Chains A and B, each alone.
Chain A
Amino acid sequence: MFGKIVFATSGAPDCDSAARVAFDMAGRYGSEIVVFHCLGIPGKGDSNLVLDVRTGEEVDPDEEYLEGVREELRTTYAIQLSACKNARIEIAVGNPSREVLRAARKEDADLIVMGARRAGVEVGGFYRRGVIGGTHRKVAKAARCPVLTVSRPAASFWGGFSNIVFATDFSKASQSAFKLAQSITRDVDGELHLFHCLDLDRLQSPIALTQEGIEGRLAEARRKIQVEYAAKLGDLAKRASIEVWEGSPYVEIVKFARERQADLIVMAHHTRNVDPDEGPDERPFGSTLEQVLVRATCPVVSVNRPDKLPEASEA
């Protein structure tokens, strides 16, 4: 299903859950897995110094240091690596999001797996200024292939997935996400929950919404899901459900996923969303995907583009 997986890791414990899922998938699908680590940000001016991503210390990325980092990663993932025939460690220096994207492009990856940092554990100063804080957002936004993010100890493992939530906002990017959701559901023989949340925050004024008005829109959204997605499911339709709620999308998506005991959420991250990096005003809000990423109890896979979607295996 995913021929080549790039597992982007900081090597720190907050990537452990992601590691489990990444290696698990690689094992199950016989995928090639590239353990990718970006060790630091280019440092002072034109010097050769690098600021280590984890410690914030200045380091010299000479062969010895690089080998040390490689060795550390080999130790951290010793068990997984030994169980995996087709695994490799790659390291790079640069801005993490850029380097993950560069690696994914170079490797022609079919999937990027990442761990998410919870809010609030970033290093101060320069780091917070959109260098590491934005890693996810930037990767999810620009990657050609799906990005699977695991931010908490996964409730279940890939392969044990059976309940998939596809959350849509009817955008073009959501079409790609839908295709992915479909493939995965087929592949794992699971159930698919098609979900949309009417964004009440955005609907406020100029039309003061009456309950009736909301009902009307909910019905309209349900119809839309039916036409745009459910009708295209074919044999999968038997295993699919449709649900439309109202509220704040990220809250409702997380709630819905919990209610359905979902073990995977599939959705798009809009390329054209206002980049939350852009200004101090937008920063705290973030995009729906980002909020879902940090709050969901299950892995989240996002995709924006149709370029590199897996074909469902013939089961």
Chain B
Amino acid sequence: MPEGIYCNKQPITTDEALKALLSDTRGKKYYEEMESLEVDREKLWSSIQKTMKSRMKTWLSVCARCGLCADSCFLYLVNDRNPEQVPSYKIHSTLGEIIKRKGDVDNAFMRHAMEVAWSQCTCCNRCAMYCPHGIDIGIMMGYLRGLLYSQGFVPWELKIGAGMHRVYRAQMDVTTEDWTETCDWMAEEQQDDWPGLEIPIDKEDADIMYTCNAREPKHYPEDLAEAAILFHIAGENWTVPSEGWEQTSLAMFAGDWEACKLQVQNVYAAIERLRPKRVIGTECGHAHRATVVEGPYWAGRPDGQPPRPYIHYVQWVAEALRTGKLKIDPTKRIKVPVTYQDSCNYVRNWGLAETAREILSYIVEPGYLREMTPNKEHNYCCGGGGGFNGIGKFRPQRNKALLTKRDQILATGAKLVISPCHNCWDAIRDLEEEYRIGIDWSFLKPLLIKMVVVPEHLKPKDDDGDA
């Protein structure tokens, strides 16, 4: 059973293995080795028999191949209505075929399936809304990804990403020390402007436990500072856990279900240890899907819920604005044409479309919001979801996929795109770099900080210079 040094069926479990895989620039050797990676047909078939739920079996068998889902898929549309991009075709020609052949598929088939699973579907679940039978191709693609991952057929970056979760319980190599140090650092940096501001670590029984995306402490720690500032202004009693702070899951994109479980259990353990009244996640969309929507099932929680109520950042913001914990200075509202990117992961998968609109009603001057068409739960994926953003091998396909969002934004005439989801944010940044349409893009936090009314008692005393 030939397995490569870089490309094999073993998950990454040590720092050394991670570094070794990373050192294989752009996965060159990895993909070379993949060409001769053997398929363990028996294992593939037996795991399908063990794990494939009746729901999926039913879906595959009831699908009438009517093609009504075709137009719902942005990848079908953007690829000139290529029949191979019809959602049902994508799944029947891959997962369906593996099942039909009882796992008797070869290497070339698996590599093809990998390409379909990661470059022809972002698991955005849009097609499910249009299928008369409610068949969700995105969910089945996720399942297919799991099968492919277990056989070693997974894009290089996602093998690394899943490995990061296994080794660091974070999508990047951020250790507990790095994390707590970053919290201290950010609190210190803000204290001149925000006297009394803290980022409390491991405070028990707080009202809120906050979790985030490892990219924040790693590259954009100001995001953490901004969260702290807004909690501070709102007068929240909050904390972050020293362990279990990372809410995202590249393992979910990779189809590494075991790593998904390890990751989410880590967060749930923090909740159980610190007993907050509720948990609030950062703006990231897939983080919410991983930890709140799907996480309970990975962790085997009987009630299908995280240990404590766990809400998305837009829910907290909407609530804070509604209850007056945060007040917006009306003169500072956004007065440029602006549009909102609905993240599939918390709009379609968690029903927060109206919650997001509620926030917009506070922060955008009436008349300046230009909705995309379609929008809310009907919105298209940004083009970079499901891991697509990060996979170098599929960059050309990804760049093409960005066109849907580009055209949607162009049609609004907006100059600013509000995009709370980190992944959508990345995709919008990339589409601007790629196609130069002259837009800005922003998370919610920096926008809110610019326009929120700061209570007198929180303003810095003494000083300040007039230069």
Interface residues of A (CB under 8 A from B): 42, 44-49, 60, 62-64, 94-95, 98, 101-102, 105, 125-126, 129, 142, 144, 169-174, 199, 202, 249, 268, 270-272, 278-279, 287-288, 304-305
Contact with A47, one of B221, B222, B392 (Cβ below 8 angstroms)? B392
Give Cα distance in the complex from A95 to B216, angstroms. Answer: 12
Whether B43 sits at the interface, judged by CB under 8 Å, is: no
Most-contacted residue by chain B among A173, A202, A287 (CB, 10 A)? A173
A62 touches B23 (CB 8 A): yes
Residues of chain B from 18 to 60 with CB closer than 8 A to chain A in the complex: 22-23, 25-26
Question: Among B185-193, B343-351, B364-372, which stretch is in contact with chain A?
Answer: B185-193
CA distance A62 to B19 in the complex (A): 9
* C-alpha spacing A172/B388, complex, angstroms: 49
Contact B220 A98 (CB under 8 A): yes
Known: A45-B384, A45-B426, A98-B220. A172 touches B462 (CB 8 A): yes
Given A44-B395, A47-B157, CB of A94 within 8 Å of CB of B218: yes
- Is B465 interfacial (CB-CB < 8 Å)? yes
What are 7 A-B contacts defined by CB distance under 8 Å?
A: A45-B427, A46-B171, A48-B160, A170-B466, A199-B467, A272-B192, A272-B193
Cβ contact within 8 Å between A174 and B25: no
Interface size on B, residues (CB 8 A): 45
**Given A169-B465, A249-B467, A271-B192, CB of A278 within 8 Å of CB of B427:** no
Report the bound CA distance from A101 to B221 in whole Å. 11
Neighbour of A45 across the interface among B23, B25, B185, B389, CB < 8 A? B389
CB pair B390–A44 under 8 Å, yes or no, is: yes
Given contacts A62-B23, A98-B221, A272-B460, contact A45 B466 (CB under 8 A): no
Please give, as numbers and ranges, the residues of chain B lying within 8 Å of A279 by CB-CB distance: 450
- Interchain CA distance A47-B159 in the complex, whole Å: 11
- The residues of A that contact B423 with a CB separation of less than 8 Å are 45-46
CA distance A305 to B190 in the complex (A): 12
Give which listed residue, B157, B220, B463, B464, contacts A46 with CB less than 8 A: B157
Find the B residue at minimum CB distance from A167: B467
* Pair B464/A199 contact, Cβ less than 8 Å: no
Please measure, in the bound complex, the distance between the C-alpha atom of A78 and the C-alpha atom of B218, giving whole angstroms: 31
How far apart sit A304 and B26, CA to CA, in the bound complex (Å)? Answer: 43
Q: CB within 8 Å of A: which residues of B?
A: 22-23, 25-26, 157, 160-161, 171, 185, 188-189, 192-193, 215, 218-222, 250, 384, 387-392, 395, 423, 426-427, 429-430, 432-433, 436, 440, 450, 460, 462-467
Cα of A142 to Cα of B189 in the assembled complex, Å? 6
Q: Which of A48, A49, A249, A278 has a CB less than 8 Å from the CB of B22? A: A48
**Chain A residues whose CB sits within 8 angstroms of the CB of B26 once the complex forms:** 60
Residues of A within 8 A of B436 (CB): 125
The answer to whether B430 touches A270, judged by C-beta atoms less than 8 angstroms apart, is no
Whole-angstrom distance between the Cβ of B174 and the nearest chain A Cβ: 12
Specify which chain A residues have a CB less than 8 angstroms from the CB of B450 in the assembled complex: 278-279
CB distance from A96 to the nearest CB of B (A): 11
Contact A171:B22 (CB < 8 A) given known A45-B423, A46-B171, A271-B193: no
Residues of A within 8 A of B185 (CB): 102, 105
Report the minimal beta-carbon distance from B391 to chain A, rounded to whole angstroms.
Answer: 7
Given A63-B23, A272-B460, residue A95 in contact with residue B161 (CB < 8 A): no
Q: Taking A45-B426, A142-B189, A202-B466 as contacts, is the C-beta distance between A95 and B219 under 8 angstroms?
A: yes
Bound-state Cα–Cα, A94 to B160, Å: 19
Give A142 Cβ to nearest chain B Cβ, in Å.
5
Whether A45 pairs with B462 at a CB distance below 8 angstroms is no
A172 partner residues in chain B, CB cutoff 8 A = 462-465
Q: How far is the CB of A298 from chain B (nearest CB, A)?
A: 19
B311 CB to closest chain A CB (Å) equals 24
User: Which of A44, A60, A63 interacts with B430 by CB under 8 Å?
Assistant: A44
Please report the C-alpha to C-alpha distance between residue A95 and residue B250 in the assembled complex, in whole angstroms.
22
In the assembled complex, which residues on chain A have CB atoms less than 8 Å from the CB atom of B430? 44-45
Beyond A126-B432, A271-B193, A279-B450, list 19 extra A-B contacts (CB 8 Å). A42-B215, A46-B157, A46-B390, A46-B426, A47-B389, A47-B391, A47-B392, A48-B392, A60-B26, A63-B23, A94-B219, A126-B433, A129-B440, A142-B189, A171-B463, A171-B466, A199-B466, A270-B464, A287-B467
